[in-house]
Amino acid sequence: MSSVSARLRLRQRAVDLEVGVDDGEVLAVLGANGAGKSTLLQTIAGLVRPDDGRVAIGDQVVTDTRAGIFVPAHRRGTALLAQRAMLFPHLTVEANVAYAPRCRGLSRRAARERARHWLDAVGVGDLARRRPAQLSGGQAQRVALARALAAEPRVLLLDEPFAALDVTAAPALRRLLRDLVRAQGTTAAIVTHEVLDALALADTAVVIENGVVAERGPVRSMLTAPRSDFGARIAGVNLVAGTMSEPGRLRTAWGDHIAGLGDVDTGAAAVALFRPSAVAVHPEPPSGSPRNVFPVTIADVDLRGPLVRVRGGELPDGGTGLAADVTAAAAVDLALEPGRDVYFAVKAQEVALHGAPHRLPS
């Protein structure tokens, strides 16, 4: 049994959380930077002692401030994989992966065999004799993953493991991790900003905001149909709430209509979801096929890599303003800046309609 239940409060880091992971489940932990996600993982791993709290792994209570119990990190059976691979620079790749088996008392030869097994499993068996300084970022993370899995942990803790990898390395590692975790049935918690990580790897997701749990639920429904605006913002999805006026058409609280795809009964409460990258920005009301056009006063303009995210002001019913992603060149051409009135247009094909029976006010 390797479920995890954690209740912790740390005044200095402004964190007050209660989180649980079932045996064999993978939990995605989402939240803004500094919200307390890393603190959660470090507390479960035994690297941080909360002011007040209780952590149990399986049947074993590993931290209990009231009862004065604190099992040190090296006896918890948790493995931590971080953004930086943190491979021991003075050991070869093979020695790195063999570290945990050696700590458990395996002979040098047996540990080496285990190491080779895991290195092959992550696809870098040929790098066994190399030193960490000679590896690329993606290779190093693979080795770090092998090292963590070679420890045969009860719980695998991942703290934004792919954030430092380039666009080609991340997807491959994501697939690898998914296959390994599912094959082993490992209990895991993964902190991530990347929606794709959560969708690919996790069963459940939890959102942490300002040190407290803001929302929790099955990952698929949470990201595609987040019940809170904060969840929507994290997922980077546009969300407009309303009621279904007819199949494929949602009527907002202020009387506008949004056309989209989705099987929701007429009259039911629903949310329309669409990606900012599916939204086009027009200086004048556009003619043509887009069925959904929203007049928007730009509230802020945000540079995100090669794209510019243009966010409109709050919706009349209080919902988060709509967001559109445009190229930097387009933003300059259109002179997009806060205060300008523009039109957001999105094809009905890009809008997903979902029922929202437990719609909570944001």
- 292-304/341-346 β-pairing: antiparallel
Bridge partners for 300 per DSSP: 311
Q: For other proteins, which is the closer residue by CB, 30 or 48?
A: 48
Q: For other proteins, which is the closer residue by CB, 102 or 220?
A: 102
Bridge partners for 77 per DSSP: none
Q: Which of 221, 242, 324, 243 is nearest to 281 (CA)?
A: 324
By CB under 8 A, residue 12 contacts other proteins: no
- With contacts defined by CB under 8 A, how many residues of the chain interact with other proteins? 26
**Using CB under 8 A, which of 14, 32, 47, 293 touches other proteins?**
47
323 contacts 281 by C-beta, under 8 angstroms: no
Q: Which of 60, 61, 10, 65 is nearest to 38 (CA)?
A: 10
Distance (Å, whole) CA 354 – CA 170 = 30
Q: What are phi and psi of 319, to 5 degrees?
A: -75, 165
Q: For other proteins, which is the closer residue by CB, 77 or 319?
A: 77
By CB under 8 A, residue 46 contacts other proteins: yes
Distance (Å, whole) CA 147 – CA 329 = 44
SS3 (DSSP) at 288: coil
Question: CB of 131: closest distance to other proteins in angstroms?
Answer: 7
- C-alpha torsion sign, points 228, 232, 235, 240: positive
**Using CB under 8 A, which of 51, 52, 108, 134 touches other proteins?**
134
121 contacts 146 by C-beta, under 8 angstroms: yes
Distance (Å, whole) CA 239 – CA 241 = 7
Please calculate the CA angle 356-318-362 and round it to the nearest 5 degrees: 50
Q: For other proteins, which is the closer residue by CB, 105 or 305?
A: 105
Which region among 63-71, 81-89, 255-263, 287-295 touches other proteins (by CB under 8 A)? Answer: 81-89
Bridge partners for 195 per DSSP: none
Which region among 147-155, 245-253, 319-327, 339-347 touches other proteins (by CB under 8 A)? Answer: 147-155
Question: CB of 75: closest distance to other proteins in angstroms?
Answer: 8
Q: What are phi and psi of 261, to 5 degrees?
A: -105, 135
Single-letter amino acid, residue 254: W
By CB under 8 A, residue 100 contacts other proteins: yes
By CB under 8 A, residue 131 contacts other proteins: yes
Question: CB of 194: closest distance to other proteins in angstroms?
Answer: 23
Q: For other proteins, which is the closer residue by CB, 89 or 357?
A: 89
By CB under 8 A, residue 249 contacts other proteins: no
Question: CB of 155: closest distance to other proteins in angstroms?
Answer: 10
Q: For other proteins, which is the closer residue by CB, 11 or 75?
A: 75
By CB under 8 A, residue 133 contacts other proteins: yes
Distance (Å, whole) CA 256 – CA 340 = 21
Q: For other proteins, which is the closer residue by CB, 71 or 213?
A: 71
By CB under 8 A, residue 90 contacts other proteins: yes
Q: For other proteins, which is the closer residue by CB, 133 or 167?
A: 133
* DSSP H or E segment with residue 108: helix 108-121
By CB under 8 A, residue 167 contacts other proteins: no
**Using CB under 8 A, which of 14, 61, 71, 86 touches other proteins?**
86
By CB under 8 A, residue 118 contacts other proteins: no
**Using CB under 8 A, which of 73, 110, 213, 301 touches other proteins?**
73
**Using CB under 8 A, which of 147, 233, 275, 311 touches other proteins?**
147
Distance (Å, whole) CA 192 – CA 52 = 26
Which region among 44-52, 197-205, 257-265, 325-333 touches other proteins (by CB under 8 A)? Answer: 44-52
By CB under 8 A, residue 61 contacts other proteins: no
302 class by beta-carbon count within 10 Å (0-12 exposed, 13-18 middle, 19+ buried): exposed
Pseudo-torsion of CA 146, 151, 152, 154, nearest 10°? Answer: -120
The residues binding other proteins (CB under 8 A) are: 45-47, 72-80, 86, 88-90, 99-100, 103-104, 131, 133-134, 147-148, 151
